[in-house]
Chain A
Amino acid sequence: MTRMRAPDHRRGWDRLNWLSTALALGIATLLLISSESATLHEDFQHRLATQASLVAANSAAAVVFQDKISARDNLAALSLAPEILSARIVLPDGTLFAGYEKAGASEKSPFWAGWIGLDRIEYQRGLDVENTEVANIHLIADLTPLRARILGFVAVVLGAGLLALLAAHILMARLRRAMRRAEDDMVHMAHYDALTGLPNRAFFETHTDQVLARTTQAALLFFDLDNFKVVNDSLGHPVGDQLLKAVAAQLGLVVRQTDNLSRLGGDEFTLLVVGAGHHQASSVAEHVIQALHHPFTIDGHELSIGASIGIALFPEDGDNVDKLLRSADSALYAAKAAGKHTWRFFSAEMDQQARDRLALEAGLRRALDRGELRMLYQPIVDLGTGRHIGFEALMRWTSPELGEVSPSVFIPVAEETGLIHAFGAFALREACAQARRWLEEGRGEVVVSVNVSARQFHGHGLVDSVRQTLRETGLPPSHLDLEITETALMGAEREVIDILNELHGLGVSLSLDDFGVGYASLSQLKRLPIHKLKIDRSFVMDIPRDSDDAAIITAIVGMAEALGLSVVAEGVETLEQQAFLASLGCRRGQGYLFGKPEPAA
Chain B
Amino acid sequence: MAVLIRVLFPLLASVLLALAPPARAALEENEVKAAVVYHLSLFADWPPGSLREGSFNLCVLTENEGMADALSRLGGKTVKGVHLVVWRKRPMLDLGICQMVYLGEMSEGARGRVIAQLAGQPVLTIANGGIPIPGAMVSLGVSGERVYFDIDLPVVQRGGLRLDAKLLRLARSVVK
* A interface residues, Cβ below 8 angstroms from B: 58, 60-62, 64-67, 70, 129-131
- Cα distance A414–B35 in the bound complex, in angstroms: 134
What distance in Å separates the Cβ of B172 from its nearest Cβ neighbour in chain A?
Answer: 10
Instruction: Produce 1/0 per residue, B133-176, CB < 8 A to A.
Output: 00000000000001000000000000000001011011000000
Q: Are B170 and A70 in contact (CB under 8 A)?
A: yes
**B36 interface contact, C-beta 8 A:** yes
B167: chain A residues within 8 A (beta carbon): 61, 65
In the complex, the answer to whether B78 meets A131 with C-beta atoms within 8 Å is: yes
Q: Which residue of B lies closest to A60 (CB)?
A: B166
CB-CB under 8 A from B46, the residues of chain A are: none
Given the complex of chains A and B, what is the CA–CA distance between A131 and B146 in angstroms? 25
Q: Using a Cβ cutoff of 8 Å, how many contacts connect chains A and B?
A: 29
Residue of B nearest to A129 (CB): B42
Q: Give 9 pairs: A residue, B residue, CB < 8 Å, sorted on A.
A: A61-B39, A61-B170, A62-B166, A64-B39, A65-B170, A66-B146, A67-B170, A70-B169, A130-B77
CB neighbours of A58 from chain B (8 A): 166
A62–B170 CB distance below 8 A: yes
B51 at the A interface (CB under 8 A)? no
Say whether B95 faces chain A, with CB atoms less than 8 Å apart: no
- How far, in Å, is A66 (CB) from chain B's closest CB? 8
Q: Are B77 and A61 in contact (CB under 8 A)?
A: no
Residue B119 is within 8 A (CB to CB) of chain A in the complex:
no
B78 touches A61 (CB 8 A): no
Report if B79 contacts A (CB, 8 A): yes
Q: Are A130's CB and B78's CB within 8 A?
A: yes
Shortest Cβ gap from A546 to chain B (Å): 152
The 10 closest A-B pairs by CB, nearest first: A61-B166, A64-B39, A67-B170, A65-B170, A130-B78, A61-B167, A70-B170, A61-B170, A61-B43, A130-B42
The distance from the CB of A276 to the nearest CB of chain B, in whole angstroms, is 114
Determine the chain A residues whose CB is within 8 A of the CB of B164 once the complex forms.
61
Instruction: Tell me the bound Cα distance from A62 to B171 in angstroms.
Output: 10
Pair B36/A65 contact, Cβ less than 8 Å: yes
| B146 CB contacts on chain A under 8 angstroms | 66
Which residues from chain B sit less than 8 Å from chain A, CB to CB? Answer: 35-36, 39, 42-43, 77-79, 146, 164, 166-167, 169-170
* CA gap between A468 and B78 in the complex, in Å: 128
Distance in Å from the Cβ of B59 to the closest Cβ of chain A?
20
Shortest Cβ distance from B32 into A: residue: A66
Q: Determine the distance from Cα of A271 to Cα of B43 in the docked complex, in whole angstroms.
A: 113
A60 to B78, CA, bound (A): 16
- Measured in the bound complex, the distance between the Cα atoms of B169 and A131 in whole Å is 23
**B45 smallest CB distance to A (angstroms):** 14
Please measure, in the bound complex, the distance between the C-alpha atom of A130 and the C-alpha atom of B78, giving whole angstroms: 7
Task: Give the most central of A58, A65, A66, A130: most B CB within 10 Å.
Answer: A65
Query: B42 near A64 (CB under 8 angstroms)?
Result: yes
CB distance from A128 to the nearest CB of B (A): 11
CB-nearest residue of chain B to A62:
B170
CA distance A64 to B164 in the complex (A): 13
Nearest-CB residue, chain B, relative to A134: B39
Residue ID in chain A nearest B78 by CB atoms? A130
- B170 contacts across to A, CB distance below 8 A: 61-62, 65, 67, 70
The chain A residue sitting closest to B164, CB to CB, is A61
Q: For residue A69, which residue of chain B has the nearest CB? A: B170
Taken together as a complex, chains A and B put the C-alpha atoms of A58 and B170 apart, in Å, by: 12
A58 to B167, CA, bound (A): 10
- How many angstroms from the CA of A129 to the CA of B36 in the assembled complex? 13
Give the complex CA separation of A130 and B74 in angstroms. Answer: 13
Chain A contacts for B79, CB-based, 8 A: 130
- B78 contact set on A, CB distance < 8 A: 130-131
Distance of A62 Cα from B167 Cα, bound (Å): 8
Task: Provide the bound-state CA to CA distance between A130 and B164, in Å.
Answer: 15
User: What residue of chain A has the Cβ atom nearest to residue B84's Cβ?
Assistant: A130
| Chain B residue at smallest Cβ distance from A61 | B166
Residues of chain B within 8 A (CB-CB) of A61 are 39, 43, 164, 166-167, 169-170
Give the one of A58, A60, A66, A70 with max B CB within 10 A: A66
Question: Residues of B contacting A60 with CB < 8 Å?
Answer: 166
Docked complex Cα distance between A207 and B78 (Å): 105
Expressed in whole angstroms, the Cα–Cα distance for A90 and B77 within the complex equals 23
Chain B residues in 8 Å Cβ range of A130: 42, 77-79
| A246 CB to nearest chain B CB (Å) | 109
Question: For A66, what are the chain B residues with a Cβ–Cβ distance below 8 Å?
Answer: 146
Distance in angstroms from A43 CB to nearest chain B CB is 29
A130–B39 Cα gap in the complex (Å)?
Answer: 10
A504 to B77, CA, bound (A): 137
A391 vs chain B, min Cβ distance (A) = 141
List, in ascending order, chain A residues with CB within 8 A of B169's CB.
Answer: 61, 70
A17 to B111, CA, bound (A): 95
Which residues of chain B come closer than 8 Å to A129, judged between CB atoms? 39, 42
- In Å, the complex CA distance between A595 and B39 comes to 157
CB nearest neighbor in B for A131: B78
From A66, which residue of chain B is reached at the shortest CB distance?
Answer: B146
Q: Shortest CB–CB separation between residue B112 and chain A, in angstroms?
A: 28
Instruction: Select the residue from B78, B167, B169 with max chain A CB neighbours within 10 A.
Output: B169
Distance A239 CA – B77 CA, assembled complex (angstroms): 118
Give the complex CA separation of A60 and B164 in angstroms: 11
Q: How far is the CB of B85 from chain A (nearest CB, A)?
A: 15
Chain B nearest Cβ from A73, distance in angstroms: 9
Q: A61–B79 Cα gap in the complex (Å)?
A: 15
Output the nearest chain B residue to A64 by Cβ-Cβ distance.
B39
A169 to B88, CA, bound (A): 90
B115 shortest CB reach to chain A, Å: 24
Bound-state CA distance A67–B78 (Å) is 23
How far in angstroms is the closest Cβ of chain A from B121? 24
Shortest CB–CB separation between residue A65 and chain B, in angstroms? 5
Question: In angstroms, how far is the closest chain A Cβ from the Cβ of B72?
Answer: 18
19 further A-B pairs in the complex, CB-CB below 8 A; given A60-B166, A61-B169, A65-B167: A58-B166, A61-B39, A61-B43, A61-B164, A61-B167, A61-B170, A62-B166, A64-B35, A64-B39, A64-B42, A65-B36, A65-B39, A70-B170, A129-B42, A130-B42, A130-B77, A130-B78, A130-B79, A131-B78
Return A575 CB to nearest CB of chain B, in Å.
Answer: 159
Distance between B139 CB and nearest chain A CB, rounded to angstroms: 15
Closest-by-CB residue of A relative to B39 is: A64
- On chain A, the residues within 8 Å of B36 by CB distance are 65
CB distance from A68 to the nearest CB of B (A): 10
Shortest CB–CB separation between residue B140 and chain A, in angstroms? 11
CA distance A58 to B165 in the complex (A): 10
State how many angstroms separate the Cβ of A447 from the closest Cβ of chain B. Answer: 140
